[in-house]
């Protein structure tokens, strides 16, 4: 992630965006996009393209390779800006705030957006994350397009999460999906705090609430697949379940196994921290009934 994504976003020019989009497009055909291709895509003179590229390089938005020929590519930093730009153009985001979460496979920012300037969260997916050096090493061993696997995986992950939220909201207590582009999604801010990082007063009531959401999601054809105290927010009104990209459907071969793992994680957390005991088989039966 860029350290100063807001600042960079504000200073980047339309022409610089156009060059990034040119590289993005041509990366379908090249691991390192030749300068000539960028010029033909943008319709800018070679000299101007060189100048823009050098500015982008200063901002660490592009990577350059000069081994066989001069070529360029982009990585998550630039993809983040391209997705952000799409959200801003559509009005789903107006201003970017602070980082509010980093997960195993994501970076999450607070932002404001929409007509009423409400608070939203932008989740930038980071699947198949690898250092830029590794991308280079891997290239030798893999076929075409493999150099884009991190990007395709992240895009797929964002789309899956957006689809899950669309299906679940508002019946199930999840963030409201607002927008999605490339590898990023915009959603409402989850209310409250992560279950893992707070202490609740009526744990039995909250556990019932959580299991009720799991049951409703199952009815709508969705099993979370990565449920734990880290992906559940609790607030005075109830709970909100986040982080859905790895969801599976009840017809999936491992559906019951994953549902058991989800429920098992929640039950063992409540047992560990609040000494609440529930029979997992009984719980599962009420969910799949
Ligand atoms: N809608 C949201 N509202 C508030 N915080 C969020 C939201 N989505 C994610 N976060 C924060 O970002 C962290 C990482 O997001 P998460 O969806 O769990 O992704 P990961 O798969 O990387 O764990 C969460 O643990 C949480 O702290
Ligand atoms: Mg998570």
Give the residue carrying structure tokens 């153009």: 89
Mean pLDDT of 10-18: 95
User: What CATH number does residue 157 fall under?
Assistant: 3.30.200.20
Q: Are strands 71-73 and 33-34 parallel, antiparallel or unpaired?
A: antiparallel
Pocket test for ligand 1, best of 76, 106, 176, 179 (most atoms within 8 A of CB): 106
What is the structure's pLDDT at 147? 78
- The total of structural domains in the chain comes to 3
Length of the chain: 289
Nearest ligand by distance to the CA of 192: 1
- Ligand 1 center from residue 155 Cα (angstroms): 17
The CA dihedral of 91, 95, 100, 105, to the nearest 10 degrees, is 50
What is the structure's pLDDT at 139? 47
What is the structure's pLDDT at 4? 79
- Ligand 2 center from residue 264 Cα (angstroms): 17
> Is the same domain home to 180 and 107?
yes
- Ligand 2 center from residue 146 Cα (angstroms): 26
> Is the same domain home to 184 and 111?
yes
Q: Quote the DSSP letter at residue 196.
A: G
Query: CA–CA distance from 237 to each of 37, 124, 191 (Å)?
Result: 55, 28, 9
Residue having the nearest C-alpha atom to atom 15 of ligand 1: 103
Mean pLDDT of 270-287: 98
What is the structure's pLDDT at 146? 75
Mean pLDDT of 210-216: 98
What is the structure's pLDDT at 132? 52
For 99-152, write each residue's pLDDT tens digit.
999 988 899 999 999 888 899 999 999 987 655 555 454 444 445 567 788 899
User: What CATH number does residue 212 fall under?
Assistant: 1.10.510.10
Which residues place a Cβ less than 5 A from the ion ligand 2? 103, 231, 243
> How wide is the angle at C-alpha 128 spanned by C-alphas 122 and 129, nearest 5°?
70
What is the structure's pLDDT at 148? 86
Residues 160 and 197: their CA atoms lie apart, in Å, by 27
For 75-104, write each residue's pLDDT tens digit.
999 999 999 999 999 999 999 999 999 988
Q: Please list the active-site residues.
A: 226
Q: Which of 131, 160, 189 is the last residue of a domain?
A: 189
| Residues whose beta carbon lies within 6 Å of some atom of ligand 1 | 100-101, 103-106, 108, 121, 123, 175, 187, 189-190, 194, 230-231, 242-243
What is the pTM for the complete model shown? 0.93
Nearest ligand by distance to the CA of 246: 1
Radius of gyration of the chain (CA): 22
Q: Give the residue numbers spanning the domain of 241.
A: 193-288
> Is the same domain home to 205 and 279?
yes
């Amino acid at each position: 992630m860029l350290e100063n994504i807001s600042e960079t976003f504000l200073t980047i020019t339309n022409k610089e965006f156009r060059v990034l989009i040119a590289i993005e497009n041509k990366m379908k055909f090249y691991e390192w996009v030749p300068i000539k291709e960028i010029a033909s895509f943008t319709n800018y003179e070679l000299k101007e393209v060189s100048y823009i590229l050098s500015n982008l390089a200063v901002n660490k938005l592009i990577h350059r390779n000069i081994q066989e020929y001069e070529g360029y590519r982009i990585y998550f930093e630039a993809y983040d800006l391209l997705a952000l730009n799409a959200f801003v153009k559509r009005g789903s985001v107006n201003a970017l705030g602070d980082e509010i979460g980093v997960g195993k496979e994501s970076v999450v920012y607070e932002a404001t957006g929409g007509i009423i300037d409400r608070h939203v969260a932008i989740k930038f997916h980071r699947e198949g994350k690898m250092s830029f050096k590794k991308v280079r090493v891997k290239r030798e061993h893999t076929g075409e397009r493999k150099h884009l696997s991190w990007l395709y995986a992240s895009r797929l992950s964002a789309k899956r999460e957006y689809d899950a939220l669309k299906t679940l909201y508002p019946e199930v207590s999840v963030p409201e999906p607002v927008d999605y582009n490339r590898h990023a999604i915009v959603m409402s801010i989850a209310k409250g705090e992560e279950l893992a990082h707070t202490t609740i007063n009526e744990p039995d009531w909250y556990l019932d609430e959580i299991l009720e959401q799991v049951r409703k999601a199952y009815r709508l054809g969705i099993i979370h697949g990565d449920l734990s105290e880290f992906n559940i927010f609790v607030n005075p009104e109830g709970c909100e379940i986040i982080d859905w990209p790895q969801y599976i459907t009840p017809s999936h071969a491992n559906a019951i196994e994953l549902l058991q793992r989800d429920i098992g994680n929640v039950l063992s957390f409540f047992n560990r921290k609040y000494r609440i005991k529930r029979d997992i088989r009984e719980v599962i039966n009420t969910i799949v009934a």
